[in-house]
């Protein structure tokens, strides 16, 4: 299979390219890092790149929470306009298989249960609560404590920042393309991806990158809130293998299927910082109590659908992955 990988020189994209090549497929890299003219918003450039292609793995995106709404136009341009240009060109070229890099941020907060009211959807956390160190979202009905759980793909979507909104719009565009063309579309909703080649010290890097960069400078990782916020840290090679499984299997023609792509092993941010610092050899993390408005408290994946339908499973364990990441090289630019 000949696969066009947009963003194929980036952090995740380069691992997807390696996984494709190892499986005997031909990967065609389309990335502004390799060629400043290879912009996914350039319709003519995308048309040329699609010649002779059997499938597309769309990794190119502007990532991160961003700066409120100040950079909304940039996010919409890179993520949504870029995806629209791509699917239009695919429709014209007759390419009928698409795998999209989605994100767990489309859910907003994760899954919570109240002992009195069952599964509930807490709203955004109030500034006064965060300032007072009350980080756990309360039950929106009675104000009681909640128990966090795993979020499934059928959970309501609730994007809470510009980036999340553009990632959901990408899925809608891919679904519209699939319905119009009879194509097969898969969206992999990545959880917290980490691993070798992660970009360092950019405004868009994940928390694992910031902690690793701090350690390299001889500084203690600074853990926001109380460090007990839960995430699913999934290794980049496992994410690449999920892309490979989705490309080789596809979905029912005319549909988009979304899959949570996580390790299945929730850990707190504090646990991750400690594991990384221990593997690196210190300094120990510092819990600051600071917060970022727009961050969610807990978001962890139920990846059973991906395991059951595509036969994929995460292979890199948390301790093993953090030990490798502690000594791995990182990128000097966003990727």
Domains of the chain: 2-111+149-327 (3.40.50.720), 112-148 (no CATH)
SS3 53: coil
Which residues contact residue 158 at a Cβ distance below 8 angstroms, ignoring those fewer than 6 apart?
106, 107, 108, 109, 121
pLDDT of residue 68: 80
> pTM score, two decimals?
0.95
Are 240 and 19 within 8 A, CB to CB?
A: yes
- What number is the average pLDDT over the span 98-108? 95
15-71: pLDDT as tens digits: 999 999 999 999 999 999 888 889 999 999 999 999 999 999 999 999 876 668 889
pLDDT digits 0-9 by tens, 224-247 = 999 999 999 999 999 999 999 999
> What's the chain's average pLDDT?
94
Burial class of residue 321, CB neighbours in 10 A (0-12, 13-18, 19+): buried
Cβ within 8 Å of residue 15, ≥6 positions away: 195, 197, 236, 237, 239, 240
Q: For residue 229, which of 285, 296, 288, 297 has the smallest C-alpha distance?
A: 297
User: What is the tally of helices (H) and strands (E) in the chain?
Assistant: 11, 16
Whether residue 308 has pLDDT greater than 80: yes
Identify the top-confidence range among 69-78, 122-131, 168-177. 168-177
Name, in order, each residue with C-beta under 8 angstroms of 106's C-beta and a sequence gap of 6 or more. Answer: 157, 158, 159, 164, 167, 168, 171, 189
Q: What is the pLDDT of residue 295?
A: 85
């Amino acid at each position: 299979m000949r696969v066009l990988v947009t963003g194929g020189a980036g952090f995740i994209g380069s691992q997807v390219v390696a996984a494709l090549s190892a499986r005997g497929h031909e990967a065609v890299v389309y990335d502004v890092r390799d060629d400043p003219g290879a912009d996914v918003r350039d319709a003519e450039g995308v048309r040329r790149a699609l010649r002779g292609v059997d499938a597309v793995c769309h990794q190119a995106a502007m990532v991160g929470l961003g700066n409120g709404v100040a950079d909304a136009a940039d996010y919409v341009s890179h993520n949504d306009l870029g995806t629209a240009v791509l699917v239009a060109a695919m429709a014209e070229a007759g390419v009928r298989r698409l795998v999209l890099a989605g994100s767990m941020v489309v859910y907003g907060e994760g899954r919570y249960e109240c002992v009195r009211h069952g599964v509930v959807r807490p709203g955004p956390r109030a500034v006064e609560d965060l300032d007072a160190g009350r980080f756990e979202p309360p039950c929106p009905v009675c104000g009681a404590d909640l128990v966090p759980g795993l979020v499934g793909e059928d959970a309501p979507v609730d994007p809470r920042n510009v980036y999340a909104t553009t990632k959901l719009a990408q899925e809608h565009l891919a679904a519209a393309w699939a319905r119009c063309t009879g194509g097969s579309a898969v969206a992999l909703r990545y959880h917290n991806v980490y691993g070798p080649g992660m970009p360092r010290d950019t405004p868009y890097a994940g928390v694992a990158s910031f902690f690793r960069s701090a350690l390299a400078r001889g500084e203690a990782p600074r853990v926001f809130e109380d460090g007990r916020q839960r995430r699913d840290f999934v290794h980049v090679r496992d994410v690449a293998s999920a892309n490979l499984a989705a490309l080789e299997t596809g979905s029912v023609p005319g549909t988009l299927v979304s899959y949570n792509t996580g390790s299945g092993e929730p850990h707190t941010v504090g646990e991750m910082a400690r594991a990384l610092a221990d593997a690196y050899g210190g300094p120990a993390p510092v819990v600051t109590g600071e917060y970022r408005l727009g961050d969610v408290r807990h978001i962890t994946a139920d990846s059973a659908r991906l395991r059951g339908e595509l036969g994929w499973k995460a292979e890199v364990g948390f301790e093993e992955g953090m030990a490798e990441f502690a000594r791995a090289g990182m990128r000097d630019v966003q990727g």
